[in-house]
């Protein structure tokens, strides 16, 4: 049979379902507002490139959840554990990171099932990112 409808890109419905680009922008902007005020985490981030850091996390999360693949086009394979090696990601840093992320996730007011799916992933990823138990 001849296909008359244009091909729709095969995207993960989660990305669209939670509101697409605008949702991920809001998530990461709210998250970074918390990071900037965090006395332990803020100094780890590049003071002259906050916008770049916001872009990298937004693009990564969009790609992970089925949005555009711009992150890997510009940054290559994520290799997140390796990219975090320069930073002291101990349990305190992880818990601080997660507390800012929790505020950001809650600010989205997603359906509970979507919120839980997103949160479970972020929590597991943050636990996997710990690279030291030293201060």
Binding residues, as ranges, are 127
Q: Is 6 left (phi over 0), alpha (psi -120 to 50) or beta?
A: beta
Q: Is 92 helix (H, G, I), strand (E, B) or coil?
A: helix
Q: Cβ closer to ligand HEM: 6 or 63?
A: 63
Q: Which residues bind ligand HEM (CB under 6 A)?
A: 41, 44-46, 53, 56-57, 60, 75, 80, 83-84, 87, 89, 93-94, 97, 122, 125-126, 129
Structure token digits, residue 27: 């998530």
- Quick one: DSSP state of residue 41? T
**Shortest distance in whole angstroms from residue 31 CB to ligand HEM:** 10
**Shortest distance in whole angstroms from residue 122 CB to ligand HEM:** 6
Residues at the annotated binding site for heme? 127
Q: How far apart are CA 90 and CA 126, in angstroms?
A: 10
């Amino acid at each position: 049979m001849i296909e008359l409808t244009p091909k729709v890109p095969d995207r993960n419905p989660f990305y669209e379902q939670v509101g697409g680009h605008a949702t991920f922008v809001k998530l990461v902007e709210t998250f970074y507002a918390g990071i900037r005020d965090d006395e332990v985490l803020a100094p780890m981030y590049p003071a002259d490139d906050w916008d770049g850091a916001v872009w990298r996390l937004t693009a990564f999360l969009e790609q992970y959840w089925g949005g555009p693949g711009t992150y890997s086009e510009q940054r290559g394979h994520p290799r997140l554990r390796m990219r975090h090696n320069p930073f002291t990601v101990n349990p305190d840093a992880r818990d601080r990171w997660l507390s800012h992320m929790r505020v950001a996730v809650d600010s989205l007011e997603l359906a509970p099932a979507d919120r839980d799916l997103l949160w479970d992933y972020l929590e597991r990823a943050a636990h996997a990112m710990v690279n030291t138990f030293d201060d």
